Amino acid sequence: MKNLPSSIKLLFSVLFMLAFTTGVNGQILKKLGKKAEKAAERAIERRVEKETQEKTDEVLDSILEPGKKGKQKKSPVPEGENPSDTNKTEPNSNPGSDTEESDIPTSSESGEPKTMQVYSKFDFVPGDKLLFFDDFSNDFIGDFPAKWNTNGSGEVVTINDSPDRWLQMIPGYSTYYIPDVPNLPEEYTIEFDILVDGIDKQTSSTADLKVDVSDSDGFERGKKYVSVNIPLCQYTAVGIRVTAKKTGAGSSENINNRVKADIREAILNRPHISIAVNKQRYRLWVNEKKYIDVPRAIVPGSQIKTIKFNVNSLKDGKERAFISNIKVAEGGVDLRRKLLSEGKVSTNGILFDTGSANIQPQSMGIIRQISQVLQQDASINLKIVGHTDADGRDETNMTLSKNRAAAVMNALISIYNASPERLTAEGMGEGQPVGDNTTADGKAQNRRVEFIKQ
């Protein structure tokens, strides 16, 4: 009874006395019992009011902050550590892979997540020619990934029971992680996911994940580069720092600015980072929101050779940062013009949950552009064709590809008000590969959606 509220204790005491008391004492206790009953009623009312307010807050959060998952997830536990030593979480599924074990909801079963409406104005369009992709699926747990280089250390890990793999990076001001990306063209896009562990309000304000594009293929910054520092700090909104070094080529101008941004909640919930470089222009999004847009960040004619990742100021053994699903693609061009001029576009930039037809919200930039083609020319009808990689059974992949095409069609109808009569959807499964299904790069190329004018 130690932990019971005082009003409930009083009620129990009165009831006990009533059971063994008669006469005048019974009359007195009857009055006291009524008081205790009213006190208990007030306690219950307060409890109901509190729970109602909490439920109301959750509903408001889902409307005003659709990316918010409710209570903060607990920290993940990399493979090999004792789960009792820290908290646990289940990160989201791999956004790219197809697996036969997962359920395959149709678009009508799954519906469109509320976050789709938030992403409906997302204008990032990934490149359509894949240059590099790595989800570490071909690497052994505990090894440094085969398609990367570093001057420090790192390892591939899994988190709890999830099959997803992540590169755990060791903090160091001069420690770089460099994927084996070929020399980059004038127009390209970079995408990746971030996962953090042990980050809290005591994390250093200088803790960040830095991403460079550089003219140097070594472990130095280079003479020409653009660098962004994505903050991992939680106790204050540090902002995103952008730096551009432009020595040579007739220019010595530097850009050094910290852009106002509060991405603390996003950092705790596996954010998706999107970067687009279109000749001189450099843009960066965190989930659906664009934070950086510098028109003249890249020196014209510069040969950008590498992408470099770096983590700083994390407490050793407590705070960790991971990246995965790194995708680099040439292009990021206007798909509208290509569809109108060529009558067909194919993209692997529309991502789905693993083994599912649930569209990932960051894919909405492409679907938005397709909707604009339909709005511009009322005579155009479109066939939407889904394709998968070869993982899993043939019949499963056929069903999956049909469901994914249907989900894209449903997004065009429900979010962008496209006419259903102008759209058809079909799936080809794994039957028309454009890449090698034995490699991560090839599988990523094969997971695609085509739009064909009819």
342 vs 56, more confident = 342
Cα–Cα distances in angstroms (integers) from residue 153 to residues 33, 148, 168, in the given order: 70, 11, 9
Tell me how far apart the alpha carbons of residues 159 and 149 are, in angstroms, rounded to a whole number. Answer: 23
The confidence score (pLDDT) of residue 52 equals 47
Tell me how far apart the alpha carbons of residues 50 and 47 are, in angstroms, rounded to a whole number. Answer: 5
**Tokens (6 digits) for 209:** 């994940």
Least confident of 93-102, 197-206, 240-249, 410-419: 93-102
The DSSP code for 352 is B
> Mean per-residue pLDDT for 238-253?
75
Tell me how far apart the alpha carbons of residues 283 and 275 are, in angstroms, rounded to a whole number. Answer: 6
Q: Scan for tokens 């204790």, then name that residue.
A: 9
Q: Alpha carbon 397 to chain centroid distance?
A: 24
Task: State the number of CA atoms in the 13 A half-sphere of 400 facing the CB.
Answer: 32
Tell me how far apart the alpha carbons of residues 337 and 322 are, in angstroms, rounded to a whole number. Answer: 37
Task: State the number of CA atoms in the 13 A half-sphere of 354 facing the CB.
Answer: 16
Say whether pLDDT at 433 is over 60: yes
Identity of residue 237 = A
Residues 6+ apart with CB under 8 A from 244: 225, 226, 227, 253, 254, 255, 256, 282, 294, 297, 298
* Cβ neighbours of 197 (radius 10 Å): 22
pLDDT 10s digits, 141-175: 999 999 999 999 999 999 888 889 999 999 998 99
Confidence grade of residue 23 (pLDDT, cut at 50, 70, 90): very low
The DSSP code for 405 is H
Contact criterion met (CB below 8 Å) for 187 and 304: no
**Tokens (6 digits) for 433:** 């590969």
Q: What is the CA radius of gyration of the chain?
A: 27
Say whether pLDDT at 105 is over 50: no
1 vs 423, more confident = 423
For 270: left if phi > 0, alpha if psi spans -120 to 50, otherwise beta; the answer is left
pLDDT 10s digits, 24-74: 444 544 444 555 555 555 555 555 455 545 544 454 444 334 444 444 444
Cα dihedral 400, 406, 408, 410, rounded to 10, equals -140
Tell me how far apart the alpha carbons of residues 395 and 357 are, in angstroms, rounded to a whole number. Answer: 15
> Mean per-residue pLDDT for 330-349?
83
> Mean per-residue pLDDT for 68-88?
42
Residue-averaged pLDDT of the chain: 79
Q: Alpha carbon 121 to chain centroid distance?
A: 17
- Give the residue among 127, 153, 302, 283 at the shortest CA–CA distance from 211: 283
pLDDT 10s digits, 359-404: 988 788 889 889 999 998 889 999 999 999 999 999 999 999 999 9
> Mean per-residue pLDDT for 173-199?
94
